[in-house]
């Protein structure tokens, strides 16, 4: 399908010759010549957005004033928050967020049919790639059968979803599916899909070159900025609107420059660097901003390390972390088999249009900070947030402080010694360094009868997982070398550690095998378990029953160490309370000791065959060892061969049968895919925004409530509302799968909203989990209370603290909120994606003003809330709110409405962005 360019763009359109080919392109220097402004000092990240304005200028959606705003941005010191309409070139999805998006598209086809419109109007206008990567779960591990058994189980669990996605691939134009077992969407995007500069024919048949840009239904879409491709995560709601031709409404962002100097020193990894960057940028405060990396340090920073830093943008809160095009970009494109013509075009285009990072690159930034990479030391982060950076030599002592605070604050009177039920009495307890009487301990018996002690700090999950690090051959080869050296000295994982290796692409397996390192990883338990996100998104699979029971029966603090990007509470495993992010080599090292209390920077990891102590330095590879193996095994041919038939899949995928129809025949018995209620009975005209009167409080939540807290992705029990629903539909517990896999069924997801096992509703005293007070004043599940309030016709509100909605771009965090009947969320501030998602579902976000907070107001949960001024609301307007306290007294406060733009106001009036698009398309047809 040809791209559509603006009609008022002739003055900035030029021709670029590369070899024997000619391309039209939209020239930033030409825009300067045309008197539209001075753009010479703009950061490359912002120039990408400027080119978008030049290409789509039509005098309506994009005007010359929008273009001139970029010049004013530079004159105003990197600040000019005007509203612009941005159109990304393509959309990237994964299956957890992609399935509900395709469900919505299928429902929209039903909806437009009901409005008398043309079903074929519901088709992606921009290319969409969906990569199935979130479904594989680690049921089997530590043996050669693990990969095949996990894949077989994945198909058993998810066959209905895969059937539906295959229908979508046939029914919708411009929509491709990368089958299971291929890789993680961001890594497939980095290694294969992205091109840095895209080409396509316009509506006049002329070939046009333009920057490769995208949005994705996963927050870590930002990884691709390491390849100078501007992209970020949006909710499925916003992505659907983008793929249907709607521009993304955004404010011209601030751009923070992050200057990197120096070079990494021996013994450190790209992961150590990114954890320090996350800490620094979180402290700086970059929510809603672009971050661009520059400085001569980039000359010594491989693209794999850049991609790791860019991947973690959601963790440091930025919209994206961008790296401009330079020689390293070209080297990576060549290495990954992009083709000589593509690489030549990228170089020529970047230099011609001002995107190239040369030695004198030092543009205007809103603000800057810097880091000498020579100061980086080995590190981890945790136990609850990615920004909680800990130098490795402080990790054990910091964990001890965490346990002391936990036990003294929550369970000070509890015994630290558990009773032993086995024969012969309890074994002698192992010494726990720095225990000071705070660590609990208990014992369990293996299937072979061996007895082991677990205690606060026992590492029960050690996982090399996630796109963040498995895309980086330097840390993956490093992990393999650590395994090799450990094996040579007779070390192996501790028996209570569940180990796993889940690379982000098949290329990783290729070079690990070519380097002879996969055998070493296998030998200490890091067998291949699948190609997908696994542990990083909560698909850790169950722990062995004796270990799980020992942890839960004795209230032990189990630990996970993983090479992922998220370590929020309740995310990784229901049996694990403390989670740490680490480089893949450190993940291997921690599996060898199995204990977070051990200072692995200084203490022995174990003993070799001769009884000699083995330290981390004894098995840590040199940078030269790693670099030599990377150069030898990470080849262009590997990328070309592994991606040659990327969309075809294996025999299992090819054997999935589906129907050939324009609209989906929703199976009534399916517990995975159901027709959502959003468009049923929808009118042809929008409504208006009404004042909120007499609303009750569904939950009062604290700071850093993540989208994982609001809409968890992992497993759930039969006692939860979602579990009861499935049980009522004759689904056995073994087949529950996860919340993430059931995002195509609104009935499950409504029941899972605010149902994270670690969420704390401050209306209740110390209670964890998805509970609140119902209309009768009794404690009940949030779902049941919401349904009771809906039956009464009572609107609901949520109160929150700082950084409300941090984390994943999880559209169900907003969809579930809306379906529970919540009309407003009132918080101190919001993370970017979740705020946008709430608006996209017709839920209004509000922020406190004047220093008010949920705490300063003394909210208990028995109050009634009314918000006026909404019937005449304007973007970012302040409105009055009356809170009637439980004793009948009232408090008058002022709230800032976070409907940020005029188009967002229209979305809310329509009931959501998809309703807006559907009515627009129905009218057009």
Per the model's pLDDT, the better-predicted residue between 394 and 158 turns out to be: 394
pLDDT of 540 reads 77
- Three-state SS string across 488-555, please? HCCCCCCCCCEEEECCCEHHHHHHHHHCCCHHHHHHCCCCECCCCCHHHHCCCCCCCHHHHHHHHHCC
Q: How confident is the model at residue 137 (pLDDT cuts 50, 70, 90)?
A: confident
| pLDDT per position as a tens digit, 465-509 | 877 777 899 999 999 999 999 999 999 999 999 999 999 899 999
pLDDT of 530 reads 82
| pLDDT per position as a tens digit, 41-94 | 999 999 999 999 999 999 988 999 999 999 999 999 999 999 899 999 999 998
pLDDT of 412 reads 42
b/e map 293-309, b = 16+ CB within 10 Å: bbbebbeebbbbbbbbb
Residue with tokens 């990884």: 223
- pLDDT of residue 788 exceeding 60, the answer is yes
Residue whose C-alpha is closest to residue 545's, from 444, 620, 407, 457: 444
Task: Measure CA 180 to chain center.
Answer: 19
Mean pLDDT, rounded, for 846-867: 97
CATH of 382-621, one of 3.30.499.10, 3.40.50.2300, 3.30.420.40, 3.20.20.70: 3.30.499.10
Gap between the Cα atoms of 915 and 686, Å rounded: 8
Q: How confident is the model at residue 130 (pLDDT cuts 50, 70, 90)?
A: very high
| pLDDT per position as a tens digit, 818-855 | 999 999 999 999 988 899 899 999 999 999 999 999 99
Task: Measure CA 613 to chain center.
Answer: 40
How, if at all, do strands 779-781 and 822-827 pair?
Answer: unpaired
- pLDDT of residue 665 exceeding 70, the answer is yes
| pLDDT per position as a tens digit, 870-885 | 999 999 999 999 999 9
Mean pLDDT, rounded, for 144-157: 88
Q: Which CATH class for the 692-711+753-924 domain?
A: alpha beta
**Helix or strand run (H / E) with residue 890:** strand 890-897
How, if at all, do strands 21-26 and 83-86 pair?
Answer: unpaired
Mean pLDDT, rounded, for 21-25: 96
Element counts in the chain: helices (H) and strands (E): 31, 34
Gap between the Cα atoms of 182 and 642, Å rounded: 9
pLDDT of 413 reads 41
Helices 95-114 and 811-819: crossing angle in degrees, nearest 10, is 50
Question: How does the average pLDDT of the chain come out, rounded?
Answer: 92
pLDDT of 434 reads 62
Contact 472, 270 (CB under 8 A): yes
- pLDDT of residue 208 exceeding 60, the answer is yes
Q: What angle do CA 593, 594, 599 make, to 5 degrees?
A: 55
Please confirm whether the linkage preceding 383 is cis (ω < 30° from 0). Answer: yes
- pLDDT of residue 915 exceeding 90, the answer is yes
pLDDT of 621 reads 97
Under 8 Å CB-to-CB from 664, ≥6 apart: which residues? 106, 109, 110, 164, 167, 171, 675
Q: Is 752 helix (H, G, I), strand (E, B) or coil?
A: helix
**Among the listed ranges 47-51, 168-172, 657-661, 754-758, which one has the minimum average pLDDT value?**
657-661
Backbone angles phi, psi at 31, to 5 degrees: -65, -35
- pLDDT of residue 416 exceeding 80, the answer is no
| pLDDT per position as a tens digit, 736-771 | 888 988 999 999 999 999 999 989 999 999 899 999
| pLDDT per position as a tens digit, 502-561 | 998 999 999 999 999 999 999 999 999 888 777 776 677 889 999 999 999 999 999 999
| pLDDT per position as a tens digit, 418-444 | 656 565 666 777 777 666 677 899 999
821: left (phi over 0), alpha (psi -120 to 50) or beta: left
Distances (CA, A) of 832 to 235, 346, 813: 10, 31, 13
How, if at all, do strands 864-867 and 692-700 pair?
Answer: antiparallel
Q: Is 924 helix (H, G, I), strand (E, B) or coil?
A: helix
Q: Where are the domains of the chain?
A: 28-86, 382-621, 692-711+753-924
* Partner residues linked to 23 by β-bridges: 16
């Amino acid at each position: 399908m040809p791209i559509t360019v603006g009609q008022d763009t002739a003055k900035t359109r030029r021709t670029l010759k590369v070899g024997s080919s000619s391309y039209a392109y939209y020239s930033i220097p030409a825009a300067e010549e045309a008197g539209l402004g001075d753009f010479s000092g703009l950061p490359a990240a912002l120039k990408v957005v400027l080119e978008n304005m030049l290409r789509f200028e039509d005098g309506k959606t994009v005007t010359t004033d929008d273009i001139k705003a970029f010049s004013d941005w530079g004159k105003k010191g990197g600040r000019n928050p005007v509203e612009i309409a941005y159109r990304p070139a393509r959309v990237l999805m994964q299956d957890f967020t992609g399935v509900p998006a395709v469900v919505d598209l299928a429902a929209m086809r039903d909806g437009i049919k009901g409005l008398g419109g043309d079903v074929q109007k519901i088709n992606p206008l921009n290319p969409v790639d969906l990569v199935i990567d979130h479904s594989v779960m680690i049921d089997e591990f530590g043996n050669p059968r693990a990969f095949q058994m996990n894949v077989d189980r994945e198909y058993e669990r998810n066959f209905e979803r895969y059937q539906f996605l295959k229908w979508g691939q046939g029914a919708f134009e411009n929509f491709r599916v990368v089958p299971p077992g291929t890789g993680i969407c961001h890594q497939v995007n980095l290694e294969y899909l992205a091109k840095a500069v895209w080409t396509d024919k316009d509506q006049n048949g002329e070939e046009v070159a333009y920057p490769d840009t995208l949005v994705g239904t996963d927050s870590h879409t930002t990884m691709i900025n390491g390849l100078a491709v501007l992209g970020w995560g949006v909710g499925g709601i916003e992505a659907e609107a983008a793929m249907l031709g709607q521009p993304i409404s955004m404010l011209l962002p601030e751009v923070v420059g992050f200057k990197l100097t120096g070079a990494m020193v021996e013994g450190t990894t790209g992961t150590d660097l990114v954890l320090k960057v996350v800490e620094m940028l979180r402290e700086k405060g970059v929510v809603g901003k672009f971050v661009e990396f520059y400085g001569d340090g980039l000359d010594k920073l491989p693209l794999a390390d850049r991609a790791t830093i860019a991947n973690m943008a959601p963790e440091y809160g930025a919209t994206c972390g961008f790296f401009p095009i330079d020689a390293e970009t070209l080297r990576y494109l060549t290495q990954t088999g992009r083709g000589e013509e593509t690489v030549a075009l990228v170089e020529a285009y970047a230099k011609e249009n001002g995107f190239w990072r040369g030695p004198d690159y030092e543009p205007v930034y809103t603000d800057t900070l810097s880091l000498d990479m020579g100061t980086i030391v080995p590190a981890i982060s945790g136990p609850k947030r990615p920004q909680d950076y800990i130098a490795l030599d402080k990790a054990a002592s910091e964990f001890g402080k965490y346990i002391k605070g936990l036990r003294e604050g929550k369970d000070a009177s509890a015994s630290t010694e558990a009773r032993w039920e086995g024969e012969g009495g309890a074994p002698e307890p192992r010494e726990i360094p720095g225990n000071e009487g705070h660590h609990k301990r208990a014992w369990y018996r293996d299937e072979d009868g061996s007895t082991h002690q677990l205690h606060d700090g026992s590492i029960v999950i050690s996982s090399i997982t996630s796109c963040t690090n498995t895309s980086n051959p330097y840390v993956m080869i490093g992990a393999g070398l650590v395994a090799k050296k450990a094996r040579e000295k007779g070390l192996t994982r501790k028996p209570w550690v569940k180990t796993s290796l889940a690379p982000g692409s098949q290329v990783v397996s290729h070079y690990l095998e070519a380097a002879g390192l996969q055998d070493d990883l296998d030998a200490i338990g890091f067998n291949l378990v699948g190609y997908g996100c696994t542990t990083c998104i909560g698909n850790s699979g169950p722990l062995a029953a004796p270990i799980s029971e020992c942890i839960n029966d004795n209230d032990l603090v189990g630990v996970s160490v993983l090479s992922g990007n998220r370590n929020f509470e309740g995310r990784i495993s229901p049996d694990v309370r403390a989670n740490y992010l680490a480089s893949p080599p450190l993940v291997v090292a921690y599996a060898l000791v199995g204990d977070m209390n051990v200072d692995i920077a200084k203490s022995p990891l174990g003993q070799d065959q001769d009884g000699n102590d083995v330290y981390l330095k004894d098995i840590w590879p040199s940078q030269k060892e790693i670099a030599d193996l990377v150069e030898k095994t990470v080849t262009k041919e590997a990328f070309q061969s592994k991606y040659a038939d990327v969309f075809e899949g294996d025999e299992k995928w090819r054997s999935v049968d589906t129907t050939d129809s324009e609209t989906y025949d929703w199976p009534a018995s399916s517990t995975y895919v159901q027709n959502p209620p959003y468009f049923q009975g929808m009118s042809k005209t929008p409504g208006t925004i009404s004042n909120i009167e007499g609303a009750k409080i569904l939950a009062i939540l604290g700071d850093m409530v993540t989208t994982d807290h609001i809409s968890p992705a992992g497993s759930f029990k039969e006692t939860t509302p979602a579990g009861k629903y499935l049980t009522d539909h004759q689904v056995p517990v073994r087949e529950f799968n996860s919340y993430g896999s059931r995002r195509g069924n609104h009935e499950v997801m409504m029941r899972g909203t605010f149902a994270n096992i670690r969420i704390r509703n401050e209306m209740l005293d110390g209670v964890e989990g998805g509970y609140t007070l119902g209309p009768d004043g009794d404690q009940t599940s949030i779902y049941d209370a919401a349904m009771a309030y809906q039956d009464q016709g009572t609107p609901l509100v949520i109160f929150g603290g700082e950084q409300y909605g941090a984390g994943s771009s999880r559209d169900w965090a907003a969809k579930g909120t809306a379906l529970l009947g919540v009309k407003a969320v009132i918080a101190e501030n919001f993370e970017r994606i979740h705020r946008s998602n709430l608006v996209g579902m017709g839920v209004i976000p509000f922020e406190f003003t004047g220093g008010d907070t949920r705490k300063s107001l003394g909210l208990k949960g028995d109050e009634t809330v009314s918000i006026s001024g909404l019937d005449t609301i304007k973007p970012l307007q302040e409105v009055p709110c009356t809170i009637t306290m439980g004793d009948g007294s009232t408090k008058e406060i002022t709230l800032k409405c976070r409907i940020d733009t005029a188009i967002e106001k229209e979305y809310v009036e329509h009931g959501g962005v998809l309703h807006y698009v559907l009515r627009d398309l129905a009218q057009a047809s």
